[in-house]
Structure 1
Amino acid sequence: MDLQKLKDFHLNIILQFIKRELITKYKGSYLGFLWTFITPILMITVYTFVFSEIFQAKWSSASQNKLEFAIILFCGLTTFNLFSEVISRSPSLILNNTNYVKKVVFPLEILPLVAVGTALVNSLISFVLLLLFKLLITSVISWSVILLPIILLPLLFFTLGLSWFLSSLGVYFRDINYIVGIGIQALMLLSPIFYPANAIPEQYRFLYNLNPITSYVEDTRNLLIWGYFPNLFGFFYHLIFGIFVCLVGYLWFRKTKRGFADIL
């Protein structure tokens, strides 16, 4: 099998696995795949009611739209969930697919790719619904939204690399699953999802700048909510960083997967 046929073979497996995961997730339910649309719609509705009617929250003192807080919050959470959905599953990816470990022809490297692809489909649906909701509220959607796939690239590379690393580590160190769970909760609270970045005290701002999720959330929000492209230097910096993490994670996985069969 030549290189191109091998790539096509792997791509076909990835797409089939993503399709299977999306179908299996809602198997047995009456509404099935429709829950992928219903869930974010319900989330937007709840956020809108709670933050606009109960808390009457505003993102900034300059904002006069009570509904704005809900869509800003939902945008940040959707971006973070793309990351957290993959990372929370990663330590158990190999452990939950031990039947593939001893199959010589099966490329275990695709399992994190499948996890990222599945999370991406769910997130894109949420982003589309977010934009429709924004259109209903503001009657405006910026042309810049077409750049969303580009903006998500640094996050996808970073998430995939971390997933390769954690899925391998989870085979050798089972406690990592609990550590990751706590880490995800901490990252969510330490990222500007529920509050703007300028609300962070100056003396702690450097800690938030070290958190890569901060830039991913801010860049996506700037693009979808306020309609402008992030700083190019910052974007390329995070893109290079994401690619670096991706390569390191892949090499780590390739090196350590040789011992999977012995442990499992």
Structure 2
Amino acid sequence: MPSFPYKLITFDVTGTLLKPKSVFKTYADFAKRCGIQVEPTDLTNGFKMAFKTMDVNHPNFGLESGLGWRAWWSSVVKETFKNAVPEETGRIDSVANDLIEHYAKGSAWSMEPQSIDVLKSLKSTGAHLGVISNFDPRLHRILRENDLSEFFSFVLTSYEAKCTKPNVAIFRCAAEIFKQQSGVPLIGEEALHVGDNYDLDYMAARGAGWQSILVSSKGTNSTCKDCLVLKSLQELKEHLVK
């Protein structure tokens, strides 16, 4: 039997291992507790606009501009509601604080099917497992409360790495952590990154000299016909663990 080809396998989190539960319904429910009536569907466009604007003006959750991740998310929430219920701006501060705390909890996130099973199988190969995610420091608690932390040798958020995917620097940072933990340098072809985003995961890892796999329920990617795209984490397990 051939030896396992990877010494390090890293995962994206959002959309790959976990996803937030009913984001816009949750936003509307928290607003209702503060006496603000708004339909979840009225928040969708506002959130997308607010997130994109903040990401451009204050990259990496406000780290680069000095705003900080908590104020960054507070601004996203406020702008989301400002577009839907502009008359309620005075009461949104409380909603923003509550939502920031809510999404720090593991219970606010749902696990993708087979997450634990595939991580157990891959860990049994002897490979180091890690996380590379564009996220703020709350990710550590989220993974811990979803019983996922135990599988990873390290969890590297963009906020703590001071750079975001698709910057190859975050993959080099992960390789350095692996070297420190294992005592051996990492050759690019011995590293695999798994994620759901073509640019941020698949191509970013390739740019760092790593191998990469996309996991998408569609099983295809219109941007890259030659990409290895698997439909589920179960397929990932079957592909990697023979």
TM-score (norm 2): 0.24
* TM-score (ref. length: structure 1): 0.23
Relative contact order higher in (CA < 8 Å, ≥ 6 apart): 1
